[in-house]
Amino acid sequence: MKRLEIENLSFHYGQGGFQNQVLKNINFSMGDESVGLIGANGVGKSTLLKLLTGLLDIQEGSVRIASLEMNKGNLKKIRGEIGYVFQDSDSQLFMSTVYEDVAFGPRNYGKSEEETKRLVQKALEQVHMEGKSKRQIYRLSGGEKKLASIATVLAMEAGIMLLDEPSVALDPRNRRNLIQVLNELPKAKIIASHDLDFVYDTCQRVVLLSDGEIAADGETEKVLTNQKLLEAHGLELPLSFWRRN
């Protein structure tokens, strides 16, 4: 089943002479797989994620999520199908306790309190935080905040998860824990990251964005071991490969 289909998607910021073309004619589709979205700073990764969630309006081309065409009429349904994990967890977690934050989405989608409780428990179990539902958000560590952010999306039972730089500011243990959690989740995922080692550990497929276009799309192993390709687009081999060589 196609979870996501993008056709001829282009996007620019600004108008007239100040126009900055960020994405050019993007074509891409994915099923139940984990895709790494990589590229140097400013190539349009975050813009693409915002277009997929409807936070930015589509200017040219089309996006279909779970067979639903991205438009204002379908936005609520689409946002139930796609979950976005922000880079900064403090922006994602706005309620005071973990339980209240994870329950926010299901309640807004009209779930009963009993069903909400079940979804929250399940989501927290999936990220191994079942004992921390009553914890105040500000008392969580950076790693726990990231896991709680993922739980907020899981509780909505979204078909696809988008993660923006999930490994930023995590210590090695929390990073390893996050890799384990993401690999255990049977969900379609798009992970936008500069951390190529992280992408290597969590994704089966990699899409390389460069200058607003898809420069490469293929198996993780093939793309991330291609030193020439990576260097031509402002990236470097993952550190673990340097060590191996």
Partner 1 sequence: MSRISEAISDLHKMDMEAEKNGWLQGIHPLPKLLVTILFILLTVSFGKYDLSGLLKMGVYLIITYVLGDISIKQLLKRMKLVLAFVCLVGIWNPFFDREILFSLGNLSVTGGMISMVTLMVKGVYAVSASYLLMVTTSMEDLCYALRKIGVPKTFVTILMLVYRYIIVLLKEIERMMDGYMLRAPKEKGLHYKVWGTMIGQLLLRSMDRAQTVYDSMMLRGYNGEFHLRCKRAARRLDYLYTVGWSAALLIVRIW
Q: Does 92 bind partner 1 (CB under 8 A)?
A: yes
- 76: contact with partner 1 by CB under 8 A: yes
| Binding piece for partner 1, criterion CB under 8 A, among 3-11, 39-47, 93-101, 198-206 | 93-101
Q: How far is the CB of 64 from partner 1 (least distance, A)?
A: 18
Q: Is 11 among the residues that bind partner 1 (CB under 8 A)?
A: no
Interface positions, 147-186, toward partner 1 (CB under 8 A): 152, 156
Q: Binding marks (x or -) toward partner 1, 34..73, rule CB under 8 A?
A: -------------------x-x------------------
The correct pick among 39, 44, 105, 212 for binding partner 1 (CB under 8 A) is 105
Closest CB to partner 1 among 152 and 167?
A: 152
Q: Please, what is the minimum distance in Å from the beta carbon of residue 160 to partner 1?
A: 12
In the complex with partner 1, the residue whose CB is nearer, 69 or 113, is: 113
Q: Which is nearer to partner 1, 4 or 103 (CB)?
A: 103
For 42-110, give the secondary structure using H, E and C. Answer: CCCHHHHHHHHHCCCCCCEEEEEECCEECCHHHHHHHHHHEEEECCCHHHHCCCCEHHHHHHHHHHHCC
Residues between 123 and 152 with contacts to partner 1, criterion CB under 8 A: 134, 136-139, 152
Task: Catalog residues that contact partner 1 under the rule CB under 8 A.
Answer: 53, 55, 76, 79-80, 83-84, 86, 88, 90-92, 94-97, 100, 103-105, 107-109, 113, 134, 136-139, 152, 156
